[in-house]
């Protein structure tokens, strides 16, 4: 016992002398401090992508219009084109800047600060520039600027959970982070919708500026709060208390358990750490992620059209809002408990449950005689629960699978999965109309929507199985 203690003390002493990062402990482990930046950032992306972009696309399409390779883009095609351009930029910038932040030598988290600060400031300025957009070219340039700067911040920020949260609490941290993301999206979206309801491009253009200013203010406030709260502090060892075998110091009364210098050294990037990494396993996880995002994107993109054509509501936008409320509400209820539960019972069973529940929810829309919105809501709630479980547990799995010393770069690869899934899901709109017409020849109503929902249900199920296979041994 004595020899083991001496050995641990020598390892800790080596960490202090060999690596300056070892003399600093992780910053605040508060989940609120780690997650609050997503409140503002998700608010910006939701306000821009779901509301402001739609207004500008409508104005530009109704004005001079946009023609591309002989094809005139209507408002929906224009918005989809701009969105896909943004996702493509995110897939390049996010992992690239993440790798750059991983390679910065210095105190944990501080090596990510310059990228996060510059990225957030750039995103704030780019968002303000949205108020001047009056043409397709201007809209494209502002979107590119927002995506480059926003993902410059997002890439390094992806690694904050690994930098600050103990391995055994990543599920809870992931659930809390995604809960903040959902709340931020809903909060900012409600304000922007209220403000833009008064907007008119000729008579009341100031309401666009009010919306943009609110988005930027929330973004800057939450970002700088996170950066100030996550400052690192010098490590002070408890007197007479060597580190435990798991690499942590014994808990002092009333104080959290502090990581050892060896633990801090592992969390830094001094170039001297060699980590085993199952690359193939992580790539299979990214494959499952792309499949699930394709299913979610396909159902989200065509929800309003489904309400209009199949259910036959006079006001499909209102029906779409009810569906969105049921989806986001059910996801928000389960996102934090699911992440916390995954720390105790494992992540595989929850991800498999997420896939099955999503498949059941989607297929229920296909099998039921959905002639009223009330019949659709239970299936939507099932999909929302599936999405909530996925958001928290899958992000925890991603944090489990990546290398600690290359966390931001490895996590940035998830943006590529998002791009592939979004392209696959949104391209479904090109086939629904043709299949619906072909179905009429065969005596089948709404064949296109049937194929869409059946494919999405299968994708939910397949993604759940893939996730379960990836993490079943953990």
Concatenated DSSP letters of 386-416: HHHHHHHHHHHHHHHHS-GGGHHHHHHTHHH
The reply to whether 227 and 294 lie within a common domain is no
pLDDT score for 2: 47
The reply to whether 284 and 224 lie within a common domain is no
Query: Is residue 273, in this structure, part of any structural domain at all?
Result: no
Domain end marker among 203, 231, 259:
231
pLDDT score for 186: 83
Q: Which phi and psi angles does 204 have, rounded to 5°?
A: -145, 60
Query: Is residue 9, in this structure, part of any structural domain at all?
Result: no
The strand pair at 24-25 and 233-234 is best described as antiparallel
> What CA–CA distance (Å, rounded) separates 122 from 99?
20
Domain end marker among 196, 231, 266:
231
Residue in 370, 383, 373 with CA at minimum distance from that of residue 318: 373
HSE-up (13 A, CA, CB side) for residue 154: 28
Query: Is residue 5, in this structure, part of any structural domain at all?
Result: no
> What CA–CA distance (Å, rounded) separates 303 from 317?
10
Q: What angle do CA 169, 174, 176 make, to 5 degrees?
A: 95
DSSP codes, 362-377? HHHHHHS---SHHHHH
Per the DSSP assignment, residues forming a β-bridge with 433 are: none
The reply to whether 224 and 345 lie within a common domain is no
pLDDT score for 283: 92
Tell me how crowded residue 216 is: count the other CB atoms within 10 A of its CB.
21
Question: The domain that contains 381 carries what CATH number?
Answer: 1.20.1250.20
Q: Give buried/exposed letters for 281-314 (b at 16+ CB in 10 A, else e).
A: ebebbbbbbbbbbbbbbbbbbbbbbbbbbbbebe
The reply to whether 374 and 287 lie within a common domain is yes
pLDDT score for 58: 82
State the residue range of the domain holding 82.
27-231
> What CA–CA distance (Å, rounded) separates 76 from 90?
21
Token duo for residue 426: 């949104």
Token duo for residue 236: 């002070």
The reply to whether 220 and 351 lie within a common domain is no
The reply to whether 319 and 205 lie within a common domain is no
Query: Is residue 20, in this structure, part of any structural domain at all?
Result: no
> What CA–CA distance (Å, rounded) separates 397 from 463?
14
Number of domains in the chain: 2
Domain end marker among 192, 212, 231:
231
Q: What angle do CA 326, 332, 334 make, to 5 degrees?
A: 105
Token duo for residue 270: 């001094």
pTM to 2 decimals? 0.74
The ranges of the chain with pLDDT < 50 are 1-28, 107-109, 233-236, 244-274
The reply to whether 317 and 405 lie within a common domain is yes
Query: Is residue 300, in this structure, part of any structural domain at all?
Result: yes
Instruction: Tell me how far the alpha carbon of residue 119 is from its chain's centroid.
Output: 17
pLDDT score for 162: 84
Q: Is the dihedral of CA 76, 77, 82, 86 positive or negative?
A: positive
The reply to whether 331 and 397 lie within a common domain is yes
Tell me how crowded residue 38 is: count the other CB atoms within 10 A of its CB.
25
Query: Is residue 126, in this structure, part of any structural domain at all?
Result: yes
Q: Give buried/exposed letters for 102-114 (b at 16+ CB in 10 A, else e).
A: bebebbbbbbbbe
Token duo for residue 387: 């999405």
The reply to whether 205 and 285 lie within a common domain is no
The reply to whether 226 and 341 lie within a common domain is no
pLDDT score for 321: 66
Query: Is residue 226, in this structure, part of any structural domain at all?
Result: yes
Query: Is residue 255, in this structure, part of any structural domain at all?
Result: no
The strand pair at 66-68 and 71-73 is best described as antiparallel
The reply to whether 122 and 208 lie within a common domain is yes
Distances 294 to 8, 274, 420, 429 between C-alpha atoms, Å:
49, 35, 8, 12
The reply to whether 426 and 300 lie within a common domain is yes
């Amino acid at each position: 016992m004595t020899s083991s203690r001496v050995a641990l003390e020598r390892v800790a002493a080596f960490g202090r002398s060999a690596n300056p990062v070892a003399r600093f402990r992780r910053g605040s482990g508060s989940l609120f401090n780690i997650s609050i930046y997503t409140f503002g950032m998700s608010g910006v992306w939701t306000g821009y992508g779901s509301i402001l972009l739609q207004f500008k696309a409508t104005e530009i399409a109704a004005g001079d219009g946009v023609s591309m390779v002989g094809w005139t883009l209507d408002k929906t095609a224009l918005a989809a084109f701009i969105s896909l351009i943004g996702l493509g930029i995110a897939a390049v910038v996010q992992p690239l800047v993440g790798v750059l932040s991983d390679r910065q030598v210095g105190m944990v988290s501080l090596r990510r600060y310059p990228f996060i600060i510059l990225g957030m400031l750039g995103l704030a300025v780019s968002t303000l520039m949205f108020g001047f957009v009056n043409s397709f070219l201007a809209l494209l340039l502002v979107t590119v600027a927002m995506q480059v700067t926003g993902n410059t911040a997002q890439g390094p920020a992806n690694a904050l959970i690994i930098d600050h949260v103990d391995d055994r609490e990543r599920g809870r941290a992931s659930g809390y982070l995604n809960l903040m993301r959902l709340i931020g999206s809903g909060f900012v979206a409600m304000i922007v919708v209220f403000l833009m309801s008064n907007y008119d491009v000729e008579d009341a253009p100031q309401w666009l500026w009010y919306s943009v200013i609110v988005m930027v203010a929330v973004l800057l406030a939450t970002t700088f709060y996170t950066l100030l709260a996550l400052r690192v502090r010098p490590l002070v060892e408890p007197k007479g208390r060597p580190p435990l075998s798991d690499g942590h110091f014994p808990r002092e009364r009333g104080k959290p358990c502090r990581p050892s210098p060896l633990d801090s050294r592992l969390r830094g990037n001094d170039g001297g750490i060699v980590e085993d990494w199952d690359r193939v396993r992580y790539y299979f996880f990214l494959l499952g992620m792309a499949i699930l995002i394709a299913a979610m994107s396909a159902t989200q993109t065509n929800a309003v059209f489904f309400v209009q054509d199949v259910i036959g509501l006079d006001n499909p936008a209102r029906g779409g809002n009810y569906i969105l409320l049921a989806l986001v509400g059910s996801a928000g209820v389960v996102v934090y408990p699911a992440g916390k539960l995954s720390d105790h019972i494992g992540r595989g069973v929850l991800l498999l449950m997420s896939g099955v529940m999503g498949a059941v929810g989607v297929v229920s829309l296909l099998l039921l005689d959905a002639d009223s919105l009330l019949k659709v809501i239970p299936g939507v709630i099932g999909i929302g629960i599936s999405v909530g479980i996925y958001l928290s547990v899958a992000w925890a799995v991603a944090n489990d699978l990546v290398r600690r010393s290359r966390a931001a770069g490895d996590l940035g690869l998830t943006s590529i999965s998002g791009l592939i899934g979004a392209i696959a899901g949104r391209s479904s709109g090109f086939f629904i109309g043709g299949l619906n017409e072909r179905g009429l020849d065969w005596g089948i109503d709404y064949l296109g929507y049937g194929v869409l929902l059946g494919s999405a249900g299968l994708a939910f199920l397949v993604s759940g199985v893939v996730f379960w296979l990836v993490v079943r041994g953990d």
